[in-house]
């Protein structure tokens, strides 16, 4: 195909009616404090990883709530789990457990069966 | 030949037991990793084997460790283990002397009284009869304590006893029956042929002849069957700790240590747990937060039966109090971390976004504050103050764009990611050519000491300040302050640093001791290692600790960990200060004024 210098952008509509919100409900059972989040972004402001890159916990949180899992696992791998976000959260959300459980949910990471 | 059909259950049970133990031990030996096998090969024919034998005698039979913690509980274990051991040994000698050969029927010692019916007149018969009765009495007294403990554990100083599973209950019932049945069986025989000692003979004289005749054989059968049940259920119940603990003592003495991965040694460790429940009382989740199903005893049990769940493995503060309390000395926190390990793509890089450029700051000392310390900037300020007072040229490694030390990732089981961070930090540190690394965070400090292969000295700031005082590079003013020191878990139990912070603080004020000091110190509850615990429980733990620490209303509550400080500050009316802040406040002015003149000339590098 000839390169016209233009391309067709992917639609960026998020259809909340068809979005997978089950994942967030499941997560809330493990981390009930996740429901308290008010998206203030304090976690992102203090983040050690966000100091180096565009990693953004608030964004990951919103993506997960809406069921947009594309590329989310790779994004979450940037986190160092240092836990600063947990200490600054004004709503006492256990953000560290939040990220940990999101990552477990999105992947095949599991307990090793060695025995 | 001394034979009766009732010896069959005992003999079959004993054979089954030995076969299962040999099969299991072989399997675990094969699973040992290369390093562990190397150490065992190197040390097996040295004096370490002799000292292991002594240790096995002391711990597995006399239970010195339990005795030290709780004499009554120690006596209970000793009377059952050592008493039974002696009963077997003395019984064997008695049978050998009686039959005149060392190779008599193996069951003769166990059922001796039934077969040795004629009046005893062999050499030492009276002595043996008395000793065997005496040993049986000791075991029965231990058994009585065990039964009391099961129903009223508080009398023996245990607030909570372990909840047992069905295998344990079967084995326990069999064990409880063995000795009373032996007593009754021997007494009934003694009633018929008068071969008993003070205990069996005395009890036997109460039995009418006909009654004794009727119950003698059934009682010997019941005794043999209870032995069979105990032997067969032993490898599947908690009593597997009896043979495994001995093996574990030898393996440890030969130099096998727990590594990062689940190995054969972990198998030996988890099978050495006797489920005594001492760790339940030590656990703060139990006595502060009322969470009763995740303690090490249950964690080890679930791991052993392959039923480990996310909830149990992750619901732990990794404070290490249970490891300290464990009478068997199991490395419980290490095993928990092994179990948390996730399968990952080997060799994958996760933190390429962090560009490591060799630093141009060539100094002798590196200061690594740590992520948490950045949330308590007063500690950083205090450290800067101390560095400048001591005239130290320092490179502040993570002042602006620091990365994590890797331990939080490791604690959650992401080993590959942790290694990635370790290699990045290692490159940075080695590029500076420094000889000393000072960190303000005990968590980072432990990580640097144990997970990094650095050839430079690593110090927590409390150690560093102690060194400065010893070398007279800083002087402190003494005051009348009452100071309570809270030992952070990772600094105390983790790195075994108890004295240095206390020595530093005693130079500034008066140290006040609390109920839980040093090895017994409590966790502040702010630990990151637990991803399950709810906020309320965490706050309950914190408040309980604060209540204990603030009992004598100290002027200052001192600690040496930014996380502990942050946790305490939120609900404490008094002052919570890090050891660095206190030292910085009490730096002698004389020292400072001398310094101020030179300040311009000395370029104190506290920058990246």
Q: Using an 8 Å CB-CB cutoff, list chain B residues near A76.
A: none
Q: Select the residue from B398, B404, B421, B542 to test the A interface by mutation, using most A Cβ atoms within 10 A.
A: B404
Partner-chain residue, chosen from A31, A87, A109, that has the shortest CB–CB distance to B566: A87
Q: Using an 8 Å CB-CB cutoff, list chain B residues near A37.
A: none
Partner-chain residue, chosen from B262, B371, B417, that has the shortest CB–CB distance to A84: B371
Q: How far apart are alpha carbons B114 and B190 in whole angstroms?
A: 9
Cβ–Cβ < 8 Å for B486, B557: yes
pLDDT band at B608 (very low <50, low <70, confident <90, very high): very low
Under 8 Å CB pairs connecting chains A and B tally to 92
Chain B nearest CA to A87, separation (Å) = 8
Cβ–Cβ < 8 Å for B316, B239: no
pLDDT in tens, B239-261: 999 999 999 999 999 988 888 88
Q: Using an 8 Å CB-CB cutoff, list chain B residues near A112.
A: 262, 341-343
Q: Output the average pLDDT for chain B.
A: 87
- What is the model's pTM? 0.86
Partner-chain residue, chosen from B341, B402, B528, that has the shortest CB–CB distance to A96: B528
Q: Using an 8 Å CB-CB cutoff, list chain A residues near B409.
A: 80-81
Which pLDDT score, from 0 to 100, does residue B540 have?
Answer: 92
User: Residues of chain A whose C-beta is under 8 A from some C-beta in B?
Assistant: 30-33, 46, 48-49, 51-53, 55, 77-78, 80-84, 86-88, 92, 94, 96-97, 100-101, 108-112, 114-115
Partner-chain residue, chosen from A80, A84, A94, that has the shortest CB–CB distance to B403: A80
Cβ–Cβ < 8 Å for B524, B568: yes
Query: Which DSSP string do the residues of A51-104 spell out, in sequence order?
Result: TTS---HHHHHHHHHHT--TTHHHHHTT-----HHHHH-TT---HHHHHHHHHH
Q: Using an 8 Å CB-CB cutoff, list chain B residues near A97.
A: 531-532
Phi/psi of residue B295, each to 5°? -60, 160
pLDDT in tens, B505-561: 998 889 998 888 888 899 998 888 888 888 889 999 999 999 999 888 888 999 999
Chain A nearest CA to B308, separation (Å) = 9
Residue B212 has pLDDT above 90, yes or no: no
pLDDT band at B138 (very low <50, low <70, confident <90, very high): very high
Chain B nearest CA to A97, separation (Å) = 5
pLDDT in tens, B261-292: 888 899 999 999 988 888 898 999 998 988 88
pLDDT in tens, B352-403: 888 878 877 788 899 999 999 999 999 999 999 999 998 888 999 888 888 8
Instruction: Provide the 3-class DSSP secondary structure of residue B4.
Output: coil
What are the boundaries of each domain within chain A?
A: 22-106
Query: Which DSSP string do the residues of B298-365 spell out, in sequence order?
Result: HHHHHHHTT---HHHHHS-----HHHHH-TT---HHHHHHHHHPBP--TT--S-TTS-----S---SE
CB contact under 8 A, B401 and A88: no
pLDDT band at A20 (very low <50, low <70, confident <90, very high): confident
Q: Using an 8 Å CB-CB cutoff, list chain A residues near B353.
A: 49, 52-53, 55, 78
Q: Is A51 exposed, middle or buried (0-12, 13-18, 19+ CB in 10 A)?
A: middle
Q: How large a percentage of chain B has pLDDT more than 70?
A: 96
CB contact under 8 A, B262 and A112: yes
Residue A78 has pLDDT above 80, yes or no: yes
Q: Select the residue from A87, A95, A106 to test the B interface by mutation, using most B Cβ atoms within 10 A.
A: A87
- Nearest CA to B336 among B284, B300, B292, B305? B300
CB contact under 8 A, B566 and A53: no
- What is the ipTM for the molecules in this complex? 0.86
Which pLDDT score, from 0 to 100, does residue A68 have?
Answer: 85
pLDDT band at A1 (very low <50, low <70, confident <90, very high): low
Residue B596 has pLDDT above 90, yes or no: no
Q: Using an 8 Å CB-CB cutoff, list chain B residues near A92.
A: 535
Q: Using an 8 Å CB-CB cutoff, list chain A residues near B412.
A: 81, 100
Q: How far apart are alpha carbons B437 and B331 in whole angstroms?
A: 28
CB contact under 8 A, A52 and B401: yes
Q: Select the residue from A32, A81, A94, A99 to test the B interface by mutation, using most B Cβ atoms within 10 A.
A: A81
Cβ–Cβ < 8 Å for B270, B303: yes
Q: Using an 8 Å CB-CB cutoff, list chain B residues near A31.
A: 531
């Amino acid at each position: 195909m000839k390169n016209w210098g233009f391309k067709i952008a992917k639609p960026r509509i998020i259809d909340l009616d068809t979005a997978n919100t089950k994942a967030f409900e499941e997560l809330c059972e493990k981390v009930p404090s996740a429901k308290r989040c008010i998206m203030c972004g304090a976690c992102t402001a203090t983040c050690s990883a966000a100091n180096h890159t565009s990693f953004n916990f608030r964004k990951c949180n919103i993506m997960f709530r809406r069921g947009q899992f594309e590329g989310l696992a790779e994004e979450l791998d940037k986190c160092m789990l240092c836990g600063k976000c947990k200490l600054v959260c004004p709503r006492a959300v256990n953000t560290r457990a939040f990220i940990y459980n999101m990552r477990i949910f999105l992947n095949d990471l599991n307990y090793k069966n060695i025995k | 030949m001394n034979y009766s059909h009732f010896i069959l259950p005992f003999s079959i049970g004993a054979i089954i037991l030995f076969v299962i133990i040999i099969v299991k031990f072989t399997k675990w030996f094969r699973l040992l990793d290369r390093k562990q096998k190397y150490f065992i090969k190197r040390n097996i024919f040295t004096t370490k084997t002799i000292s292991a034998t002594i240790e096995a005698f002391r711990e597995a039979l006399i239970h010195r460790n339990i005795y030290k913690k709780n004499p009554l509980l120690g006596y209970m274990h000793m009377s059952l283990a050592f008493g039974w051991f002696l009963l077997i040994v003395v019984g064997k000698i008695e049978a050998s002397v009686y039959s005149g050969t060392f190779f008599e029927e193996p069951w003769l010692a166990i059922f001796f009284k039934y077969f040795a019916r004629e009046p005893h007149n062999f050499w030492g018969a009276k002595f043996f009869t008395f000793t065997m009765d005496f040993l049986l009495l000791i075991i029965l007294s231990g058994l009585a304590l065990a039964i009391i403990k099961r129903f009223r554990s508080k009398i023996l100083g245990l607030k909570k006893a372990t909840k047992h599973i069905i295998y344990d209950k079967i084995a326990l019932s069999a064990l409880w029956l063995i000795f009373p049945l032996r007593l009754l069986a021997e007494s009934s025989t003694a009633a018929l042929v008068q071969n008993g000692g003070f205990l069996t003979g005395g009890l036997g004289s109460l039995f009418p002849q006909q009654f004794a005749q009727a119950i003698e054989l059934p009682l010997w059968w019941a005794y043999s069957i209870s032995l069979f049940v105990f032997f067969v259920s032993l490898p599947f119940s908690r009593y597997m700790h009896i043979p495994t603990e001995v093996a574990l003592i030898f393996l440890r003495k030969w130099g096998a240590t727990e590594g990062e991965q689940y190995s054969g040694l972990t198998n030996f460790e988890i099978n050495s747990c006797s489920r005594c429940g001492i760790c339940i009382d030590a656990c703060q989740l139990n006595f502060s937060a009322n969470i009763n199903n995740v303690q090490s005893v249950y964690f080890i049990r679930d791991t052993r039966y392959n039923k480990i769940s996310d909830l149990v493995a992750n619901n732990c503060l990794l404070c290490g109090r249970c490891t300290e309390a464990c009478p068997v000395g199991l490395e419980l926190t290490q095993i928990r971390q092994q179990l948390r390990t996730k399968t990952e793509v080997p060799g994958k890089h996760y933190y390429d976004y962090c560009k490591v450029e060799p630093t141009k700051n060539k100094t002798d000392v590196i200061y690594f504050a740590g992520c948490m310390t950045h949330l308590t900037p007063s500690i950083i300020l205090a450290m800067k103050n101390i560095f400048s007072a001591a005239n130290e040229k320092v490179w502040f490694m993570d002042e602006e764009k620091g990365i994590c030390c890797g331990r939080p990732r490791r604690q959650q089981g992401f080993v590959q990611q942790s290694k990635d961070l370790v290699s990045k930090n290692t490159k940075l540190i080695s590029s500076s050519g420094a000889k000393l690394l000072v960190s303000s965070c005990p968590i980072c400090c432990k990580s640097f000491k144990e997970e990094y292969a650095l050839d430079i000295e690593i110090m927590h700031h409390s150690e560093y300040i102690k060194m400065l005082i010893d070398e007279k590079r800083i002087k402190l003013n003494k005051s009348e302050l009452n100071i309570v020191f809270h030992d952070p878990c990772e600094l105390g139990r983790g790195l075994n640093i108890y004295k240095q912070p206390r020595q530093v603080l005693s130079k500034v004020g008066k140290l006040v001791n609390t109920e839980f000091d040093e090895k017994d110190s409590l966790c502040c509850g702010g630990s990151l290692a637990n991803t399950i615990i709810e906020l309320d429980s965490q706050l309950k733990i914190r408040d309980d600790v604060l209540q204990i620490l603030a009992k004598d209303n100290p002027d200052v509550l001192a600690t040496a960990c930014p996380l502990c400080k942050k946790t305490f500050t939120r609900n404490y009316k008094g002052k919570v200060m890090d050891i660095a802040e206190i030292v910085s406040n009490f730096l002698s002015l004389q020292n400072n004024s001398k310094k101020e003149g030179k300040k311009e000339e000395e370029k104190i590098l506290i920058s990246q």
